Amino acid sequence: MKLLVCDDDISTIDVIQSQLDCKELGISKILRAYNGIMAREVIDKENPELILCDIGMPLSNGIDVLKYVYEKNPDIEFSFLTCYETFEYAQIAIKYGVTSYLTKPFDLEEVKVCIQKMIANVKKKKNETVIREQSQYDMLMSSVFRQASDGLLGNNREMVDAGLRFNGVDFTADSKWRIVFSCADMTDAIRKTWSKDLLLFTASRIHDEAILGYIGSAYTVVNSDERFVWSTCFVRGETDDETLKTKCEQLVEFGGKYMSLEPVVLISEPFEFYKASDVVANLYDQMRKLRYYGGKVFFENEEPNLEQQSNAMNENQILWYLKKHDEEGYKEYLRSLLDSQKSNADSLDHFRKELVNVFVTYFRDNGMSSNNIFMDEKIIKLDEKAVTSKTAMMDYAIGLFEMQQNKLRELTDSEDIIARAKRFIDENYHENIDRNDVAAVAFVTPNYLSKLFKNSMNMNLREYINQLRVEEAKRLLLSTSMSVSEIASYVGYFNISYFSTIFHKIVGVSPFDWRNER
């Protein structure tokens, strides 16, 4: 770091320059100036990080230098070393954030402490800047990858290129990528006190770190349904299969060790970035067949060698028993299946996962939230023992059936569901909410809520949320001096361009024009 000492008393500068141990302090160069005008010239030329300045100097005093530094670069650390002890100067020093106010005659040890304090402040500011810049970069890249995954950038080369240029990223639509796509059952992690939000955030961080060695969450897009977390990690270039597989195995290890997750991982073939949405869709389809084989790593288009279970569970048969409320038929059927199963934990765990999947399907198809069952205290206790024996597994299966029947009787009618959904949206539309959040509050599945809401309100959930946000934005445009960008963020849009597009679509003019016309 460079230190500028500015004083019309040359001997003061000589003492500081000769007596300070620059190497110990980490100072690369001590600069000299004898008045305020000379100080400004040195600042412009050398850009020092630290300034130690007298107040009373000819031509231009230390207060002028302080104000100049404050306007040019407020991150420069500034301290006074002066004969003046007036309250007025002390007030100015406080106003402009001066680090220290030392008076002459000075103690060299005090000067050293002052400089150490300034250096510490510079390092802190630099760290904060790095963190802030990385956070902004992570948000930008995460947004780009999410848009690409969801098809919002389009799926042809020209459209995607235009979107990438608009976002200012450093790659093109033709650049080569691969995707590490994973799916993990969240049930055990949430049972062990993980909150869903923290789980999703940690999943994105661990993917970036394990696969890319990147300390952040820029390259991984995370989604979830009621039971599974789905992670899409974008990997630059044509990384070879063996390297990528080794990293994915490490990802699986991290998931089990730190998060109580046992992800299944699917590695894509290399592709051009503009094809991302198609690749993601294909990976989703393939993963649905693999998601119960936790801890395994597969390659896209690979024919997986999965261990087949004898007397495989017939999902339609169990759904029929649930629909007919036939508990005896349900128990008889499952006992016959269990009799043919091995008694080891792995075999029973696979049986448990298949059974749970049937119940998730049943609840989804009937517009109910499966969380009502799987987070029930009684079911949790039965689940913990389920893989210890066939008897315990049967107790778990019967518990699921009984709980399902009870919850079915308690299912509220559609008017109550819509009322709960609207109330939640009305209170939280300015937050980053989606249909999964609304469905959780209404105790139904997202797909069922979407259909019900559309039929009842003659608009979909997103249209309803957008209308509320735009109405609030119109009120703020009229009644406050907030900028359009601030208003966009306040009502729940973190991209001003997207906000302007939605506003124009609903109102007919841009938010800028709407404000100016009123």
Closest CA to 152 of 276, 283, 285: 276
Cα separation, 51 vs 69, in Å, equals 9
The pLDDT assigned to 23 comes to: 86
Residues 347-397 have pLDDT tens digits of: 898 889 889 888 887 877 666 666 666 778 888 899 999 999 999 999 999
**Is 70 exceeded by the pLDDT of residue 409?**
no
User: Is the alpha carbon torsion for 89, 90, 92, 97 positive or negative?
Assistant: positive
Q: For domain 151-299, give its CATH number from 3.30.70, 1.25.40, 3.30.110, 3.40.50.
A: 3.30.70
DSSP state letters, 317-386: HHHHHHHTT-HHHHHHHHHHHHHTS--SHHHHHHHHHHHHHHHHHHHHHTT--THHHHT-HHHHHHHHHG
Domain range list for the chain:
2-125, 151-299, 315-410, 417-517
**Average pLDDT value for residue range 402-412:** 71
d(CA 234, CA 181): 9
d(C-alpha 222, C-alpha 229), whole Å:
7
55-107 pLDDT, tens digit per residue, is: 888 888 999 999 999 888 888 999 988 887 777 787 788 788 888 888 888 88
Give the residue among 455, 450, 445 at the shortest CA–CA distance from 367. 445
Task: Give strand ranges (E) for 8-99.
Answer: 29-33, 50-53, 77-82
| pLDDT surpasses 80 at 188 | no
What is the Cα–Cα distance from 511 to 441, expressed in whole angstroms? 32
Give CATH for domain 2-125. Answer: 3.40.50.2300
Structure tokens at 296: 């395994």
Six token digits for residue 11: 């001997």
For residue 180, the cross-strand partners are 233, 267
Of 468, 477, 467, 226, the C-alpha closest to 361 is 226
Measured between alpha carbons, how far is 102 from 119 in angstroms, rounded to an integer?
16
- Model confidence, pTM: 0.49
Share of the chain above pLDDT 70, in %: 94
Averaging pLDDT over each range in 212-221, 245-254, 433-442, 480-489, which range is the top one?
A: 245-254
Lowest-confidence pick of 190-204, 408-422, 461-475, 484-498: 408-422
CATH architecture assigned to 417-517: Orthogonal Bundle (1.10)
